Amino acid sequence: MDGSGDPNAARKAWLSVLAKAQAADVAALWAEAGYAPDHEVLRAPEIGAVMVRGRAGAVGAPFNLGEMTVTRCSVRLASGEVGHGYVQGRGKDHAMQAALTDALMQTADAVAVENAIVTPLRNAAEARRTTRAAKAAATKVDFFTMVRGED
């Protein structure tokens, strides 16, 4: 994710965190931070679908698995930064808040915005993942060999 030499790595990472976050979590953090930047809506929140693809045998030819709902939105701050929000599901507020966050992350306030919005969302996602992984690990089979009866 980071340190790969990809100039877009940081932006890609925060956009991915915003996309996968729970809409309610984004709304709560956004309200708490109280951001209300002056902006112009370039593309009003729009609900659509993305065709999710898989590969035959996990490694072979791509095939269409089915669609998922996605909402997108674009904004431009009064200071000029353009933000794009692409989020899973049908949350128009979620997409708008993601686009505004993306724009704010390109301003001088990036560190504060990261601390207020992106980092808590990343931590929440990590916590959900760790809990599930720990429950899965508890169901891992420990095999043991029975002592054979014959000499």
Instruction: Confirm if 18 and 26 have CB atoms less than 8 A apart.
Output: yes
Which residues are within 8 A (CB) of 79 and not within 5 positions of it... i.e. 6 or more apart?
A: 107
The pattern of x and - marking residues 77 through 116 that bind other proteins according to CB under 8 A reads -------x-xxxxx--------------------------
**Interaction of residue 137 with other proteins, rule CB under 8 A:** yes
Convert 62-74 to b/e letters by CB count within 10 Å (16 or more is b).
eeeeeeeebbbbb
Comparison of 27 and 70: residue with beta carbon closer to other proteins: 70
Which of 10, 12, 22, 106 is in the footprint of other proteins by CB under 8 A? 12
CA distances in angstroms from 87 to 74, 91, 109, listed in the order given: 12, 8, 23
Number of residues in contact with other proteins under rule CB under 8 A: 54
CA distance 39 to 94: 16
User: At closest approach, how far in Å is the CB of 11 from other proteins?
Assistant: 8
**Interaction of residue 121 with other proteins, rule CB under 8 A:** no
**Site residues for other proteins per CB under 8 A:** 6, 8, 11-12, 15-16, 19-20, 46-70, 72, 74, 84, 86-90, 129, 131-141, 143
